[in-house]
Amino acid sequence: MPLHEFYTTPTLRLVVGPTASVDTDVLVLPVFAEAEATPLDLPDAVASVMVAMRASQELKGEPYEQHWLRNEAVAAGRILLLGVGPSTAVTPDLARRLGTAAGLATRSRGQARVAIVAGGALQGEPLVRALAEGVTLAAFHVDAYKTRDRKLATLQSAAIVVTAGGADSLADAVALGSVLGEAANVARAVAHEPPNVLTPAVLADRARALFAGTSVQVDVLDETQLHEKHMGMLLGVAQGSVNPPRLIVLTYDPANASANAPAKSTGPVLGLVGKAVTFDTGGISIKPAENMDKMKYDMCGGAAVLGAFHALARAGAPSRVIGVIPAVENMPSGAAFRPGDILTAASGLTVEITNTDAEGRLILGDALWYARQLGATHLVDIATLTGACAVALGRVASGLFGTPDDWRDVVQGAGTRGGDFLWPLPMTDDYKDLLKSDIADMVNAAGTRYGGAISAALFLKAFAGDLPWAHLDIAGTAWADEPKPYQPKGPTGVAVRTLIELARSSGSWA
C-alpha cells in the first residue's frame, strides 16, 4: 500500500474577506472563554445565536468544546463552534491542536471542505501556520487498511480565514504549515504500516520512491555492504530474521536545492539518526505477548527522519543535513544473536550482549559511527528506545539527553518552537558503572531495573565521539493509546517538527 493512501493532503488556501461568504462545507468559529475576546465578522443571525447560547451557559468556550449549527446566513450552511479556552492561553501548540480538532470533526460529519476563522487571539503568522499544520494533520487515515465501515470522510480542502493584514506573509505561513503537517503524516504513514508489509528492504524502497526527483539523495547499503563496513552490531541484531537489514542514507544539500546556492555548502552538517526496527519481538529475550503488536512502531525514530527530510525537500534548510536510518527486524530463530554473545561495532568497540531486547542501541551505535564518517558535525538520534523512559515521563514528554549542555539546550529549544515537549534527563559519570563488562568493552543492557533510559543514552554516547550529540527517547510519545479531539489512536509523528526546526535554524546555532 503506497504512503499516499494513509493521507490525502488537503489543498490549503488563505482567505481574506468576509467570513459569511467563504465557500466551504463547514465554517469553524473559534469561541474563547471570554465573550468579548471573539471579535468575529458574523451576520447578526449567527451572532445572536451565540449570545443566547452564552447566556444559557450552553456555550462556555472551554478547550475543544464543540457545537454544530445550521444557519443559512453563511455560505457554508454548517457552522462548528469550537472552544478555545482563555484568549491569554493561546499558543501555536494550542492552535495546531485546534486545527486538527476542526479537521477531524469535519471529517466525522462526512464533509470534505473546512474553513477555520483565525480571529481574535488566533491572528498572527505563527498561529495561522499552526492552524494550517493542524488541519493537515487531521487528514491522516488511521483506518487505511479497512475495506468497509471507514468512519471518517477524506478532507479535500481547507482554508484559513483572516479579515485583513499581511496577506502575503500569512499565505506563506499557510503553505509552510501544510508542508510541516504533511511531513508528520509521512512519518505516521510509515510507522502505521503492518510489519508483514514494511520490512527493512521495503522501507528502503519507500525512501527511494518518496524522494525521487527531489533535492534529497538516497543511498541504501545492503547486507553485503554492511559486512564490508564491519557493522557487527547492526548485523548481529538482524541475523535472526529472514528479512535482511538495510542502512538508508539521506542527504540534503542546499547546493543541490537551489541554483543560487554555493557550489558546495559549507558550515555545520547535521546528522539525524533514526532507529527503524520494523518489528521487535525482543529476540531470544522475547517480549510478553500482550501489546507485542505495537512493536511495529519500533521504527518511529526512522520514520521521523524520513518525515523531516520530506519537509526539507520542499522548504529547504541553510546547511547540509545527513540522515542515517538503520533498518532491521529483531526476531528469535536458530540464527538469532544470544545473551552472552560479543559483538564488535564498526567503531571497534566490543559489546557483551546481556539482553537481546536492548537491540535499538546496537543498531544506533553503528549508525552514529557511520554518520560521523559521512561528515556530520552535530548529531541527533531519535528512537523508541526504552520502556524506562515511558515509565519516567509518561505519554506527554519525550526524554532528552545530550552533550555538551549547550547543544542539548539548542535541541530542546527547537522542540519548544516546533511543538514537541522534550524533557532533559541526567547523564553524569556516576552512571557509567551500569555498562561495565568483565569480558568486553561494555554490556548492551545494565543488570538493574533502575536508570534504564540513562544507561541506554550512555551506551549511545560512546559512539558519538566528541561531536555535539543529543538523544531523543520517544518510547512514551510515539503513539497514542487513547483518542483525543486532536489526536486519534495510533502514530503521533512526534519529533518530526523538532528535527525540521533544528535543520532550518542551523544558521543560528552553527
pLDDT in tens, 195-218: 999 999 999 999 999 999 999 999
CATH 3.40.220.10 positions along the chain are 3-188
Look at the domain 200-509 and name its fold.
Answer: Aminopeptidase (3.40.630)
Give catalytic status of residue 264 as yes or no.
no
Alpha-helical segments (H) within 109-156? 125-137
> Nearest CA to 128 among 168, 155, 74, 157?
168
Cβ count within 10 A of residue 100: 26
Strands 11-16 and 157-162, by their bridges, are parallel
pLDDT in tens, 351-405: 999 999 999 999 999 999 999 999 999 999 999 999 999 999 999 999 999 999 9
Find the catalytic residue in 54, 229, 287, 395: 287
The answer to whether 133 touches 99, Cβ cutoff 8 Å, is: yes
Please, what is the average pLDDT of the chain? 94
Q: For 289-308, what is the mean pLDDT? A: 96
What global pTM score does this model have? 0.96
pLDDT in tens, 112-126: 999 999 988 998 999
Radius of gyration in angstroms for the set of CA atoms belonging to the chain, rounded to a whole number:
24
Find the catalytic residue in 361, 372, 408, 504: 361
Pick the CATH number of 3-188 from 3.40.30.10, 1.10.3720.10, 3.40.220.10, 3.30.300.90: 3.40.220.10
pLDDT given for residue 262 in this prediction: 53
Q: Could you list the beta-strand ranges (E) of 213-308.
A: 216-221, 246-252, 269-274, 276-280
CATH 3.40.630.10 positions along the chain are 200-509
> Nearest CA to 250 among 201, 306, 298, 300?
306
Q: Residue 313 half-sphere exposure, CB side, CA atoms within 13 Å? A: 22
pLDDT in tens, 215-270: 999 999 999 999 999 999 999 999 999 999 999 999 999 987 765 555 555 689 99
Give catalytic status of residue 97 as yes or no.
no
pLDDT given for residue 258 in this prediction: 65
